Amino acid sequence: MRGVPTRRLLRRCLFVLLGIGIGLLGLRIWQTETGPALHVWHRFVPADLQAARIEGMDWDGYLAAEATLFESVRREVTEQLEPEDRTPLNRYFEGSPVYPPRFRQDWNRSYLLEPEGPPRGAVVMLHGLTDSPYSLRHLARLYRSRGFVAVGIRLPGHGTVPAGLSDAVWEDWMAATHLAVREARRRAPDGPLHVVGFSNGGALAMKQAMEALDDPRLGRPDRVVLISPMVGITEFARFAGLASLPALLPTFAKAAWLGIVAEFNPFKYNSFPVNGARQSWRLTRALQAQLDRRAREGRLEGLPPVLTFQSVLDFTVSTPAVVNSLYDLLPANGSELVLFDINRNSMLGILFRTASEAALGRILPPAVRRYRTIAVTNAGEGEDAMVARVTEPGARETRDRPLRARWPEGVYSLSHVALPFPQGDSLYGMAPDPADEDFGVHFGTIAPRGERGALRVPLDGLIRMSSNPFFEEMAERIVQGIEAR
């Protein structure tokens, strides 16, 4: 007799869960339908390269296919713009100052930077999600100045239109990584091979290094450099696909997007499809499973030294995951972690959340580690002077090395997107270098003041720190790795 009430209770629970699910779907539909409208760059999905085809291609073939892809964007997007979309704010309008094809070099596309003489080594540059090869151009030039050939590849789904990311999968990005490494090895077969990954590209860089342990033919890196690596992201991304369920019906196509924003940045998408978050989560999970399995089996000894630069405050990726899910697993192989602390002499100090003030100590508690740690921080509370606080592998004590750089006035921290850009970057720097090409807008110099709701773009994207005042110190650490034997 007890089975009857139990079944009745289960049915009630199922009805409640069904009701909650329907309610959430309704809320999602309401949320998207009251938001901005979709434009042609959200609806046109270019036929980008997929993994199976990429794995059989060479560099020239990839560039040829890329040229065809960009031509399709010109034909299906730029030439099809509605009159109201032909504005200076729109990167897809050929009359806009931020229209990428008008620049000397369109940094949305894959590139090679070659040294003057025979290359002494090669480096592969892997950009982040919604990003483009532009983001690592300064580091590519740094490597070229040291005699390396730099291979900067545009990952599938990027550099064209945001809708491109609605179709790409992480396996496509991995195949492109393999291709770039093959080209790097072809151009410098006997020299060292480095792989530099920014954000989502950091996960790809580590995945490449892991895969090469099993198959050296893939190209085993001699060093991996990670910048704000996407080793761990929020669990929300795991379920992001559920948010796009209403988009199965064409009427609710906007549900396939987590953000629909004006496209005013020439080298980065502002709009963000649900699939982008989903694929990043899939990539990080695949990487973590590989790391955990090899760590349990004691088979991580072949990994190359890993050099990572990470802000303690990062809204996009998990900084603790960089320590707990990556560095704590690495062997004693000369790896190094550089953390950028908050500005402890900021006028905004009284506004800091307690968790933000304690972030460095929480992420990096006192311990003996197998890797070197460097905390870039104020020499003391209320001091402008900056130091690199160094803890050597196997040690507890620290030593301070004075730094030349200081925090710019009004800046309280770095951000996820700031690290690979010097202050002189024309697009993102706070002090654009007049010798750099003008890309139509200087985001790093914008300090908006006024009433809310007046601008066509979200303030969040304009006030986020977009360049790195400690870029030169970062470059010096990378050069030390280049020169290491």
How far apart, in whole angstroms, are the C-alpha atoms of residue 344 and residue 377?
8
How far apart, in whole angstroms, are the C-alpha atoms of residue 298 and residue 347?
48
**DSSP of 413-469:** ---TTTTT--TT-TTT-SS--TTSPP-S--GGG----S-TT-SSS-HHHHHS--S-T
**Residue 100 near residue 106 (C-beta atoms within 8 A):** yes
Task: Please tell me the predicted confidence (pLDDT) of residue 27.
Answer: 46
Helical pair 200-214 and 170-187, crossing angle rounded to 10 deg: 70
Q: What is the dihedral of CA 427, 431, 432, 434, to 10 degrees?
A: 170
List, in sequence order, the alpha helices (H) in 51-113.
Answer: 51-54, 59-76
Secondary structure of residue 391 in the 3-state scheme: strand
Q: What is the dihedral of CA 136, 406, 364, 317, to 10 degrees?
A: -40
**Residue 272 near residue 258 (C-beta atoms within 8 A):** yes
Q: What is the dihedral of CA 170, 171, 176, 182, to 10 degrees?
A: 140
How far apart, in whole angstroms, are the C-alpha atoms of residue 224 and residue 206?
7
Task: Please tell me the predicted confidence (pLDDT) of residue 162.
Answer: 97
Residue extents of the structural domains in the chain: 20-415+434-443+469-483
Secondary structure of residue 336 in the 3-state scheme: strand
Task: Please tell me the predicted confidence (pLDDT) of residue 248.
Answer: 47
List, in sequence order, the alpha helices (H) in 152-199.
Answer: 170-187
Q: Write out the two tokens for 161.
A: 């239109």
Residue keyed to tokens 């402890």: 344
Q: Classify domain 20-415+434-443+469-483 by CATH architecture.
A: 3-Layer(aba) Sandwich (3.40)
Task: Please tell me the predicted confidence (pLDDT) of residue 37.
Answer: 87
Tell me which DSSP letter residue 373 carries: E
Q: Write out the two tokens for 415.
A: 């951000």
End-to-end CA distance of the chain: give it in Å, rounded: 77
How far apart, in whole angstroms, are the C-alpha atoms of residue 17 and residue 29?
18
Task: Please tell me the predicted confidence (pLDDT) of residue 19.
Answer: 65
Q: Write out the two tokens for 75.
A: 């034909």
Q: Write out the two tokens for 211.
A: 């895969």
Beta-strand runs (E) in 210-323: 223-227, 257-259, 272-273, 306-311
**What are the pLDDT tens digits along the chain (485 aa)?**
445 577 777 777 766 666 655 554 554 444 455 557 899 999 999 999 999 999 999 999 999 999 999 999 999 999 999 999 999 989 999 999 999 999 999 999 999 999 999 999 999 999 999 999 999 999 999 999 999 999 999 999 999 999 999 999 999 999 999 999 999 999 999 999 999 999 999 999 999 999 999 998 899 999 999 999 999 765 555 555 555 555 544 554 577 788 888 999 999 999 999 999 999 999 999 999 999 999 999 899 999 999 999 999 998 899 999 999 999 999 999 999 999 999 998 877 778 888 888 888 888 888 899 999 999 999 988 889 999 999 999 999 999 999 999 999 889 999 999 999 999 999 999 999 999 999 999 999 988 778 777 777 777 777 889 999 999 999 999 999 999 86
Residue keyed to tokens 């989502």: 200
Residues pairing with 457 in the sheet: none
Burial tier of 474 (Cβ tally within 10 Å: 0-12, 13-18, 19+): buried
Task: Please tell me the predicted confidence (pLDDT) of residue 28.
Answer: 44
Tell me which amino acid residue 299 is: R
How far apart, in whole angstroms, are the C-alpha atoms of residue 395 and residue 392?
5
How far apart, in whole angstroms, are the C-alpha atoms of residue 300 and residue 106?
39
Residue keyed to tokens 């032909």: 86
Task: Please tell me the predicted confidence (pLDDT) of residue 420.
Answer: 98
How far apart, in whole angstroms, are the C-alpha atoms of residue 237 and residue 366?
31
Task: Please tell me the predicted confidence (pLDDT) of residue 410.
Answer: 86
Residue closest to 393 by CA, chosen among 335, 319, 437, 443: 335
Residue closest to 225 by CA, chosen among 211, 208, 242: 208
Task: Please tell me the predicted confidence (pLDDT) of residue 449.
Answer: 77
